[in-house]
Amino acid sequence: MSTTTNAPAAITLIEALTQAMDYELRADDSVVVLGEDVGVNGGVFRATAGLHAKFGSERIIDTPLDETTIAGLTVGMASQGMRPIAEAQFDGFMYPMVDFIVCHAARMRYRTRGRLTCPMVLRVPWGGGIRAPEHHSEANEAIFTNVPGLRVVMPSSPQRAYGMLLAAIREPDPVIFFEPKRIYRQYKEVVPDDGEALPLDVCYVLRDGTDVTLVTWGAQVKEALEAAEKLDAEGISAEVIDVATLRPLDFATIAESVSRTGRCVIVHEAPKTAGFGAEIAARLAEESMYDLVAPVERVTGYDTHIPLFRLEMKYLPSVERVVEAARRAMAAS
Ligand SMILES: Cc1ncc(C[n+]2csc(CCOP(=O)(O)OP(=O)(O)O)c2C)c(N)n1
């Protein structure tokens, strides 16, 4: 007698995003998807592949090549009771959307004393490492973490991508959902299609350690975990935290870790100046000063535009740079 199993196949991060949208489009009639080529074409990275065939042109909407139109439609629909999921094709093309996001979406609830909300998700393929030209590789998350009324999140695994996107779609306020495109297809994980959302206000401790805390998000989680492996071989025990939700920041998880390790290395690919690492470093200075036994280290992109592909990997934080920063923190105490 043959036995069949219903165990779900392992899927990539981008397939997990498609799975989450598919689930919520089935579950909630007010959910729509819109953006450039998200329909028949299935999206520039294929995040919406197959959705148009299933749900049709009224729910999977191809827009003109105009980001202001996408943002305006999204805010309008969200404020009138729908749950739009908009796609900005690349990080560097979202700037024309900022007026709608900052001046309208983010303050809809405040402005109307709660009469209207803006339950929208803006999905943004984010960051470098795919050998793309200008406007296609930017790490601009910090800009949005400074805006009251927005949630800013970034998954770094297929399971977190699924659970966090479901939560973002169900959230009553606007969510900027950054997707690290470098790891869209990096590895596969089993992601049950059970409709279980994850919280949008927690950091994830991905590896326990006792000597130094590595804090990062998005594609750099991979480098941080690899650095932790290398450090382990040198007898240095590194804890790795995926921030995952940047706004609101679950600082308690970071502070608790640093209270045990006394050392912190923050890793992000955005430029150093006023990057989100500066916020975490400032919070450590304010709230964890007496736990620290070494200066906080930041391993970041440089204060310039991310270069074209020949130099791109030199710009992005490497495993070696993270390891060196952790060694410096160890040597400082
Ligand atoms: C402002 C902006 N948004 C998005 C893109 C990404 N993008 C590059 S080519 C392209 C499709 C262009 O389609 P079309 O104008 O029909 O020209 P085709 O390449 O199909 O001939 C898009 C959306 C871009 N380059 N600029």
For atom 16 of ligand 1, the residue with the nearest CA is 65
Helix (H, G, I), strand (E, B) or coil at 65: coil
Q: Which residues line ligand 1 (CB under 6 A)?
A: 36, 65, 67, 89, 93
Query: Strands, E, within 148-293: which ranges?
Result: 151-153, 175-180, 189-190, 204-207, 212-216, 238-242, 245-247, 264-271
At 5, the pLDDT band (50, 70, 90 cuts) reads: low
213, two tokens: 């805390």
Closest residue (by CA) to atom 25 of ligand 1?
A: 93
CA distance 29 to 81: 11
pLDDT more than 90, % of the chain:
97
Amino acid at site 141: E
Which residue among 89, 90, 124 has the greatest number of ligand 1 atoms within 8 angstroms of its CB, and so is best to mutate? Answer: 89
Ligand 1 atom having least distance to the Cα of 65:
23
Task: Answer left, alpha or beta for residue 6, where phi above 0 means left and psi between -120 and 50 means alpha.
Answer: alpha
What is the pLDDT, as a whole number, of residue 4? Answer: 59
Q: Taking residues 54-58, what's their average pLDDT?
A: 98
Percent of the chain residues past pLDDT 70, beyond the cut: 98
pLDDT grade, residue 333 (50/70/90)? confident
* Predicted local confidence at residue 8, as pLDDT: 84
Tens-place pLDDT, residues 279-328: 999 999 999 999 999 999 999 999 999 999 999 999 999 999 999 999 99
Residue nearest to atom 13 of ligand 1 (CA): 65
Give the pLDDT score at 287.
98
**Residues designated catalytic:** 136
pLDDT band at 125 (very low <50, low <70, confident <90, very high): very high
State yes or no: pLDDT of 34 exceeds 70: yes
Closest atom of ligand 1 to CA, residue 36:
23
**Ligand 1 centre and the CA of 131: distance in Å?**
18
Contact 307, 269 (CB under 8 A): no
With CA atoms as reference, report the closest residue to 150 among 180, 118, 123, 189: 118
**Spatial separation of the C-alpha atoms in residues 224 and 238, rounded to whole Å:** 9
pLDDT digits (tens, 9 = 90+) for 158-191: 999 999 999 999 999 999 999 999 999 999 999 9
Please tell me the predicted confidence (pLDDT) of residue 155: 98
| Inter-helix orientation angle 251-261/276-287, to 10° | 60
CA–centroid distance, residue 192 to ligand 1 (Å): 35
Residue 7: band (very low, low, confident or very high) from pLDDT cuts 50, 70, 90:
confident
Please determine, for residue 80, whether its predicted confidence score (pLDDT) is greater than 80. Answer: yes
- Structure-token pair, residue 182: 């470098």
For residue range 192-241, list pLDDT tens digits in order.
999 999 999 999 999 999 999 999 999 999 999 999 999 999 999 999 99
In the reported structure, the alpha carbon of residue 87 is separated from the centroid of ligand 1 by a whole-number distance in angstroms of 14
Between CA 171 and CA 83 the distance in angstroms is 9
CA 312 to centroid of chain Cα atoms = 20
Residue 76 has pLDDT above 80, yes or no: yes
* Dist. CA 37 → ligand 1 center (Å): 9
Section 52-58 average pLDDT: 98
Nearest residue (CA) to ligand 1, atom 10 = 65
Q: Is the pLDDT of residue 3 over 70?
A: no
Around Cβ 253, how many Cβ atoms within 10 Å? 18
Atom 6 in ligand 1: residue holding the nearest Cα: 89
Residue in the structure block whose two tokens are 């966090």: 164
* Residue 96 Cα: closest atom of ligand 1: 1
Q: What is the rounded average pLDDT of the residues 256-277?
A: 98
How many helices (H) and strands (E) the chain has is answered by 12, 14
Q: What's the mean pLDDT when you consider all of the chain? A: 97
User: ipTM of the assembly?
Assistant: 0.96
Closest alpha carbon to 46 in 83, 11, 7, 94:
11
Report the DSSP pairing between strands 238-242 and 204-207.
antiparallel
Q: How far is the CA of 158 from the centre of ligand 1 (A)?
A: 28
Stretch 65-91: mean pLDDT = 98
| 65 alpha carbon – ligand 1 mean position (Å) | 7
